[in-house]
Amino acid sequence: MTPQALLETAVLLGFFVLAGGGYAGLYSIGRLRANIGLVRAGALCWFTAFGIALVVAAATPLDAGWKLFILASALVYAAIPPMTWRYLERLHDDHSPEGAGQ
């Protein structure tokens, strides 16, 4: 790993999770306010995370196993917010008179 690649890779990894968090945050606020624009901005964040994963895979000196892992994580990131949201909504519908985002 060259000194420059070290910093580039670490920063990419940090932004990868940040973009994943941005997706989770914007998706949730979008769903809450029934605002499709925000949900789309969330999707854009996920694409950014996926793009970062591709850059990590293509341009960093990480071992192949880690690159695959990051790519797989990007796919799992895509599923977490909608799955969690659906689960929370179901819990709410089952157990309480209130619903979210109405």
Partner 1 sequence: MYRSQKLSLRYFGAAVALFGVMIVFGLLSALYYLHPSLLFDVFNFSTSKTLHIDTLVIWLLMGFLGAVYWYLPKELGREVEGMWLAELMFWIFCIAVAIVAAVFIFVQYGSSNEFTLWFINQGRKYVEAPRWATIGIVAVMAVFAYNVVATCIKAHKMTGIMWVLVIDLVPLLVVYLDAFPAITNMSVDLYWWWWLVHMWVESTWEVLIGCVMALVLMDVMGTSRRIVEAWLYIEVMLVLGAGILGLGHHYFWIGTPEYWLSIGGFFSALEPLPLLGMVVHAIYDAGTHRMKTTNRPAFYWITAEAFGNFIGAGIWGFMMTLPQINLFSHGTQWTVSHGHFAFWGAYACGVIAVLYVAKQQVSGVNFLDGRAWKWGFGLLNLGMIGMVMGLLLAGMAQAFFGRAIGGSTLMAFTTASENPWFVSGIYARFFFGVIFAAGYVVLVYDLLTAPKHLPMPQATPEPA
Torsion angle, alpha carbons of 94, 98, 101, 102, to 10: 120
State whether the Cα torsion 40-41-44-45 is positive or negative. negative
Contacts (CB under 8 A) with partner 1, residues 75-94: 76-77, 80-81, 84-85, 87-88, 91-92, 94
Whose tokens are 């999707």? That residue is: 43
What does the per-residue mask of binding to partner 1 show for 20-59, with x meaning CB under 8 A?
Answer: xx--xx-xxx--xx--------------------------
Place of tokens 């060259």: 2
Amino acid at 59: A
Residues of this chain that bind partner 1 (CB under 8 A): 1-3, 6-7, 9-11, 13-14, 16-18, 20-21, 24-25, 27-29, 32-33, 61-63, 65-66, 69, 73, 76-77, 80-81, 84-85, 87-88, 91-92, 94-96, 98-101
